Amino acid sequence: MRKFITTIRSAVNGFAARMIALVLLLAALRIYELTFNGLAHGGPHPFFSILVFGWANDILWLSLLSPFLLLLYVLLYLFSKKAAAILFTVIGILLGLIQISLIQYFSTTLAPLGGDLWGYSMNDIHQTMGAAGGVPVSAIIAFLLFVGLGLFLLWRVPQKVHIRLLFALPLLILLLLLAWTGPQQLSPGFTDSEYKNNLTLNKLQFFTNSSFHHFFPSFADLDIYADSYSGDYESEAKAGAKAVVFQYVDETNYPFLHTAQAPDVLSSFLDLDTQKPNIVILLVEGLGRAFACSGGYLGNFTPFLDSLSGQSLYWENCMSEGGRTFAVLPSVIGSLPFAKNGFCALAENQPNHLSLLSLLKHNGYQTAFYYGGDAHFDLMDTYLKHDAIGKINDIQSFPSGYVKMPTSSSGFTWGYGDKELFRHYFETLSGSTQPYLNVMLTVSTHNPFLINEEDTYLGRFESRMNELKFDDDRKQEARNYKNQFASILYTDDALRGFFAAYSKRPDFHNTIFLITGDHRMPEIPMANKIDRYHVPLIIYSPLLRRTAKFSSISTHFDITPSLLAMLKAKYAIDLPSLVTWMGTGLDTTRAFQNVHDYPFMQTKNDIVDFINATDMLNQNSVFMIGPDMGLTPDNDQPVLSRLGSLFDQFKQRNNKMLSTGKLMPDSLYERYFPK
């Protein structure tokens, strides 16, 4: 027994020494992360606060692992001291190497990798990795240096430094107490930069937590608001605005089915003729309000779109429904819920539904989709075929004579840039007198931001900063993202050419154009949690009788209901009286307000954001939304309860749709789906 106790004491002492070494190793990794990101993105400031919060999060994460590591180490130590030391060293180095990989990913995308990884197909992952250019040299060097440092700290140092039980025992007790009672993560709560908040996260803990919730969603769907409210809250809005509440007809079987209530708010702005108008929807990759049109806090790097917005109906506070491209098609043309990993991810298991595409095709429209990349990415083509798309034009349909975008270091290219996409569009556009609905998704402003005519647009970027009167400090900060800004200017120029060419066509005068971003480009640091979704929405047409700028909040969910309401009012097109739209229609109030209750899906695994009135819920935190779309923390418990209840109602409907596999009765679907 005495020998056993002596062995246990020795094991505890050895474990404590190695845990101290692992803490030092994590500190080195934290310094590496801040230095690496500082070189790539500038700063970060305040460096010391970010370092302290980041290291504290690393220690909290390590404390969560400590019970398992201790048990494993001691059990193995009873049989072999050397084997226990080897296993601890291998585990520590492996965890560190994974952390370095996640740090590299974050530095490239400025978003921590989470369980959304598991929502992508292997083909999608291969394309994304190819776009990133493979494993960079900096990562290989970091791997090698870390392995050397890890071997020294985790293997050699504990052999030379002996920890006494008087110190080892309190250390282990402290770690175990932190694991049992401490928070999982600390947040510095920077209100000026979401990038700095994300920088303090332990990337491996974020990934493992998010992955756990992906594979075990029941743990993520626990009702965290059960103790803070009783009964249901009805939607409410501030400043006298009245929120729209759906009239659901059969929530048990069809949780999203409700009466069609969206008003016609667009007809009064248009001189619509007896002939149905063509509709062209331009979804611009990464187009965020932060740098698009006047008032963008990063500057106006879309001078053409800015001029077009002044001749249009312009929603400066529109929001995408997803933080990545996967959400844009179901949101814009289907106003559909998210399902588990985005509606497109349901693939062949999509419940029967109607959309802008299928309903307009039912009413005599031709429909087509145009994309310079592979439309199978994010299963976009599968979704579109379920919507009865007339034709899909993607990378496979471009004939010879078109030039692809430059390849990354791994030889990968997304496909054809925006100028080539628009050229292909005009060469394939039907001359039929039949009205058409065409949807286009651009790709040039996608990571890795390699564009044709790169030198031209890098020069344009420098001249644009002078036009915007940037001082030297702001110029230097913007140059950290020169490729991103150059690609934005390229796409803005491509749009200029697109509209110039369209204006020469006879069908131009009877066409309505919608331009919006699929989400805000995340590779330029974001100011706050709403910034990822903040995109412009422009409706331009020669049919416009007057222009307007709206500061009220609307989202991609509202586009389809409003377009259909307009066509129904003017042309009496054949539409169902029962629909499954998530949106209530575009708000044409010029003053800042919000009359919508909407969830948002940040990644394929994270439905954590919700807005009601001018409040935003992000996980367990509430923020007040300002007229500039800035966020201010709000600790008001009744607001948290109200938003939590409304958000929970959506999640219950979403889960019910997944369990029943139904959105609408078969009779309704068959009546309006085009034959």
Per residue in 324-336, pLDDT (tens digit) is 999 999 999 999 9
Query: Mind listing the pLDDT tens digit for each residue in 261-282?
Result: 999 999 999 999 899 999 999 9
d(CA 209, CA 115) in angstroms, rounded, equals: 8
Q: What is the C-alpha end-to-end distance of the chain, expressed in Å?
A: 82
> Does this model's pTM top 0.85?
yes
Q: Please compute, for residue 103, the number of CA atoms within 13 A of its CA located in the half-sphere on the CB side.
A: 26
Q: Is the pLDDT of residue 225 over 70?
A: no
- For residues 440 and 420, what is the distance between their CA atoms, to the nearest angstrom? 12
> Residues 35-53: what's their mean pLDDT?
82
- The pLDDT-based confidence of 214 (bands split at 50, 70, 90) is confident
pLDDT at 239 over 70: no
| Confidence band for 310, pLDDT divided at 50, 70 and 90 | very high
Mean pLDDT is lowest, of 340-344, 408-412, 594-598, for: 408-412
More reliable by pLDDT, 120 or 89: 89
Residue type, 475: K
Burial class (CB in 10 A: 0-12, 13-18, 19+), 168: buried
For residue range 530-567, list pLDDT tens digits in order: 999 999 999 999 999 999 999 999 999 999 999 999 99
What is the C-alpha separation between 347 and 330, in angstroms, rounded?
A: 12
- List pLDDT tens digits, range 444-483: 999 999 999 999 999 999 999 999 999 999 999 999 999 9
Peptide bond connecting 183 to the previous residue in cis, omega within 30 degrees of 0? no
Give CA–CA dist 50/550, Å, rounded.
38
The answer to whether 356 and 560 are in contact (CB under 8 A) is yes
Comparing CA positions, the residue from 399, 402, 591, 419 lying closest to residue 490 is 419
Mean pLDDT of the chain: 89
Q: How crowded is residue 484: how many other Cβ atoms within 10 Å of its Cβ?
A: 20
Residue 87 pLDDT: 92
Closest CA to 651 of 583, 580, 600, 592: 600
Q: Which of 202-211, 229-238, 276-285, 354-363 has the lowest mean pLDDT?
A: 229-238
d(CA 417, CA 413): 10
Return the structure tokens found at 277: 């108008």
Domains belonging to the chain, first-starting first, are 2-218 (no CATH), 258-672 (3.40.720.10)
Residues 6 or more apart whose CB falls under 8 angstroms from that of 631 comprise: 191, 528, 529, 530, 616, 623, 624, 625
Q: Is the pLDDT of residue 351 over 70?
A: yes
Q: Is the dihedral of CA 399, 400, 406, 407 positive or negative?
A: positive
| Cα separations in angstroms, 322 against 192, 259, 530, 595 | 22, 25, 11, 19
Residue carrying the six token digits 């078109």: 402
Closest CA to 277 of 665, 540, 656: 540
pLDDT at 77 over 50: yes
- Residue 240's pLDDT band, with cuts at 50, 70 and 90, is very low
Cβ atoms of 197 and 107 within 8 Å: the answer is: no
d(CA 600, CA 531): 12
Going by pLDDT thresholds of 50, 70 and 90, the confidence category of residue 230 is very low
Dist CA 632 CA 614 (whole Å)? 11
Total Cβ atoms within 10 A of residue 382: 16
pLDDT at 229 over 60: no
Both tokens assigned to 386: 């379920």
Nearest to 582 by CA among 556, 612, 617: 556
Q: For residues 428 and 412, which has the higher predicted lDDT (pLDDT)?
A: 428
* Per-residue confidence (pLDDT) for residue 243, from 0 to 100: 65
3-state secondary structure of 476: helix
One-letter amino acid identity for 43? G
**pLDDT for the residue numbered 171:** 76
Q: Which residue has the higher pLDDT, 142 or 223?
A: 142
Flag whether pLDDT at 159 surpasses 80: no
pLDDT: is 123 or 69 the higher one?
Answer: 69
To the nearest whole percent, how much of the chain has pLDDT over 90?
A: 61
